[in-house]
C-alpha cells in the first residue's frame, strides 16, 4: 500500500513538472530589426518673412519646399529675412534656385542657425555648413543658374515628427536684390528645397 501511494505521488509530481519544463524549453529571444526612412523637411516660422523695400509671398509645398516670391521697385536694394525651420533624421542639404526675368542676380546669406529645443541633436548647430566660409559673406546667385547649396549638415532631430516643437534648427536666410535701371519694377522667385545629403 505504501509503495502504491509513493508511485501515485511520483506520477502527480511528474504531471505537474512537465508543462513547466516545456514552457522553459520553448522560451527564446525575439529579435526585431528594421530601417527608418530618411525624412527631411523645411518650413517657414510662424512669424513669417521680414522685408525692407519688397513685397513677399511664401508658399510651402509637401514639407520639403518653400517658395518665396519677391517683388519691388525703386532705387534701393530690397532685403528680405526668411526664418526657416529644418528637421531631419539624416544628413541634409538646402538648395535655393533663383528665377527672375527682371533681376539679374540675388545675394544670399545664412545669418543665423540655432536650435529650437531639447530634441535637436547635439552638434547640429556647430556642424551646419554654410558656403562661403565666412558667415557674414553673401553668396551671389544668377537667374536660372544651377541650384546652390546654402546650408548642409548632419541629422537634426533626435525625436518627434516633421511638425513637432523643439526638434528643428531655426535658419535665418537673408536675400538681397539690387534695383533695376531706372528704378523699374521687378519680381523674382526663390525656391528653398530640403533633401537628404549625398
Range of the domain at 138: 40-196
Domain membership flag for residue 101: yes
Q: Are 81 and 171 in contact (CB under 8 A)?
A: no
**In-domain check, residue 50:** yes
33 within domain boundaries: no
Q: How many domains does the chain have?
A: 1
pLDDT in tens, 70-107: 999 989 889 999 999 999 999 999 999 888 888 777 88
pLDDT in tens, 98-144: 888 887 778 899 999 999 999 999 999 999 998 764 444 567 777 76
Domain holding 46: CATH number?
2.60.120
Q: Does 6 score more than 60 pLDDT?
A: no
What average pLDDT score do residues 11-35 get?
A: 52
Q: 74's torsion region: left (phi>0), alpha (psi -120 to 50) or beta? A: left
How confident is the model over 34-62, as pLDDT tens digits? Answer: 566 899 999 998 677 889 889 999 988 77
The pLDDT of residue 23 is 44
* pLDDT at residue number 3: 56
Q: Are 121 and 154 in contact (CB under 8 A)?
A: yes
Residue 169 lies in a domain: yes
Residue 92 lies in a domain: yes
**Total-model pTM:** 0.76
Among the listed residues 46, 39, 47, 43, the one whose alpha carbon sits nearest the alpha carbon of residue 59 = 43
Residue 106's CB is within 10 A of a number of other CB atoms, namely 24
Residue 4 lies in a domain: no
194 pLDDT more than 70: yes
In a domain, 2, yes or no: no
Within-domain flag for 15? no
Amino acid at each position: 500500500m505504501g509503495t502504491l501511494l509513493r508511485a501515485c505521488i511520483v506520477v502527480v509530481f511528474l504531471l505537474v513538472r512537465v508543462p513547466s519544463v516545456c514552457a522553459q524549453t520553448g522560451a527564446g529571444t525575439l529579435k526585431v530589426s528594421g530601417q527608418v526612412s530618411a525624412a527631411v523637411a523645411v518650413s517657414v516660422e510662424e512669424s513669417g518673412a521680414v522685408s525692407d523695400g519688397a513685397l513677399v509671398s511664401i508658399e510651402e509645398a509637401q514639407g520639403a519646399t518653400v517658395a518665396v516670391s519677391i517683388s519691388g521697385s525703386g532705387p534701393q536694394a530690397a532685403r528680405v529675412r526668411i526664418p526657416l525651420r529644418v528637421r531631419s533624421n539624416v544628413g541634409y542639404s538646402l538648395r535655393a534656385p533663383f528665377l527672375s526675368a527682371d533681376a539679374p542676380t540675388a545675394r544670399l546669406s545664412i545669418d543665423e542657425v540655432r536650435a529650437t529645443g531639447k530634441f535637436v541633436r547635439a552638434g547640429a548647430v556647430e556642424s551646419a555648413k554654410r558656403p562661403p566660409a565666412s558667415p557674414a559673406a553673401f553668396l551671389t546667385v544668377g537667374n536660372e543658374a544651377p541650384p546652390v547649396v546654402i546650408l548642409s549638415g548632419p541629422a537634426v532631430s533626435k525625436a518627434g515628427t516633421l511638425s513637432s516643437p523643439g526638434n528643428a534648427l531655426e535658419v535665418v536666410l537673408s536675400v538681397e536684390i539690387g534695383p533695376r535701371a531706372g528704378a523699374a519694377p521687378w519680381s523674382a522667385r526663390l525656391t528653398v528645397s530640403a533633401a537628404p545629403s549625398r
